[in-house]
A and B are shown apart, each in its own frame.
Chain A
Amino acid sequence: MVMTADSPGKKIEVDGLRLRYGAKEVIHGISFHVEPHEIFAIIGPAQSGKTSLLRCINRTIEFTAGTRVGGKVLVDGEDVQQVKSVYELRRRIGMVAPLPVGLPLSIYDNVAFAPRAAGVRGKDDLDGLIERCLRQAALWDEVKDRLDSLGTKLSGGQQQRLTIARALSHQPEVLCLDEFSIAIDPVTTMRIEDVLKELKNEMTIILVTNLVQQARRLASRTMFLWNGNIVEVDRNEVIFSDAPASKHTLDYVNGIFG
């Protein structure tokens, strides 16, 4: 694992990225970068391509038939299309999907899934790892007595936190959260936001969110994506000021978007 903690620069660089589903292009050649150890927020109305963008970064987009990706995505300067093992790449990037997907396994096995796929076997190692991840996802206290029961039987919000624990389980360098707070109550959301602020020291975080205020609270920089184009990407002080570069940004951030 290459630590780029003190080398300033670009953890992720996206260069002229285009994405097509069949004949329909949904991302039209966008370029931006994410700095190491920052929380980078992506905001934008529905259908603007936020989820698709994340799926291009860890290459799960290939799972959908008929997709064509153009341009480049670099992680630590390495083109994701040319990595040695796509599985290892995906483990370097934690992904939390907007709708919680508890795998039909026990809670323990859900969190142990990625470490096991990567070859971690020792019971003690796994136990410790799983407790830590569940604590970080603010779920440990609720499930510590029933780690053996099915992950799919948890409530929606608990499943969402389970997916966060799962995304942390392979100790990713980049954590992508796609509207993680959709199914979570405000109190738990705040707890997880606090965790994210701490995690920033260990990893780079990309936060896709519909809550403009969440982006404002957490991120150091924010990108406004609209219909597959970048309207503006800048430091939060600019995006959330009275005078961002684009009028659209001002309108969207203030909730008066056409």
Chain B
Amino acid sequence: MGDGAIDLAAAAAERRQRASVVARGAASRRRRWELVGESALEWLIRLCGVSAIVFVFGIFFFVLREGAGFLFHGLNLRQFLFSTEWYPTSQSNVRYGVLALIVGTFSVTTLAMLIAVPFGLGAAVFVSEFCSRRMREGLKIVIELLAAIPSVVWGFIGLGVLNPLIQKVFRVPVGLNVLNGALLLALMSVPIMVSIGEDALKAVPDSYREAALALGATRWQIVYRVLLPAAKNGLLAAVLLGVGRAVGETMAVLMATGHAVNIPHSPFDPVRTLTATIAAELGEAAAGSQHYQVLFIIGILLFSITFVVNFTADLVVKGIRKR
């Protein structure tokens, strides 16, 4: 009886040992595969990161190559930047001045942001802090729908809805102007600001809200004394993404701003933007011609503008974060 027990115990021990040897082999094989898989994944991720940089530089060099010939030989840079005369197809006296286009881009974008930032941030605060849960879900669906509308459709809304509306409300002869384009851009960038801004506000821990509540703060005091300071980085990112959307937008502003090369004196003047010019004229310009090259030089200009905007934004964000 006693011997039997010992035998059993020994057998069990042996079995366990054998099992553990097998297991160890499997484990080491698995570990090797894990290692291979892990380094493969690491390389893949690195490749993705590098390719993003390569693409950006690739695009830049492509654009530069297309425009370089005329940019370095023949283009009067002073005229290009400071003249408002854009006559790229004139037979007798060709002039390539893009000042009006630059001013057009800036006026539409700036007005759009003046409209969109308060609305976007206000809506983000409302959705995240003042809404019942059911209403929030509904609003979020609407906002995501808004974000998904293609820009050509926005262009049609500008032509068909805003145009007559602006004519009627402001009693102006033409409704295709800075205001129209800015309203469209605002409508297009508000959804981005709302969803990113709401995320930023939701990321503020509830314990902050409750601590402020216990100190006798009203809901508004909680918003502007606690939430806005706590979420300022995220909110700034929301605004900047909205600006990015507005600067880069082409189709809608092409259709809605009246397409007249003109320095605007009021929001009711028609303008033309840099992006719209490229989109409208590239198809007609003969490949390799001066006109064609100038359009690419405008592309380089846009590139530089976005770069400067992003860079300053970066500095601003870093500055805020440091404080």
Contact = CB atoms under 8 A, between A and B. Distances in A.
Partners in one complex: yes
B28 interface: no
Given A104-B229, A105-B229, A117-B225, A91 B216 contact: yes
A117 B217 CA distance: 6
A90 B208 contact: no
B167 interface: no
A88 B218 CA distance: 10
Interface residues of A, number: 26
A72 interface: no
Given A65-B133, A90-B216, A113-B215, A60 B210 contact: yes
Interface residues of B, number: 19
Contact of B212 (A88, A113, A170): A113
Nearest to A91: B216
Contact of A101 (B207, B216, B229): B207
Interface string A140-172: 000000000000000000000001001101100
Contact of A63 (B133, B210, B230): B210
Contacts of B229: 104-105
A192 B214 CA distance: 21
A101 B226 contact: no
Nearest to B215: A114
A103 B217 CA distance: 13
Interface string B201-214: 00000111111111
Given A104-B230, A117-B225, A88 B216 contact: yes
A60 B214 CA distance: 6
A118 interface: yes
B133 A114 contact: no
A63 B133 CA distance: 13
B210 A166 contact: no
A99 interface: yes
Q: Which 7 A-B pairs have the closest CB atoms?
A: A91-B216, A114-B215, A95-B214, A90-B216, A104-B230, A101-B211, A87-B216
Interface of A: 58, 60, 63, 65, 87-91, 95, 97, 99, 101, 103-105, 113-114, 116-118, 163, 166-167, 169-170
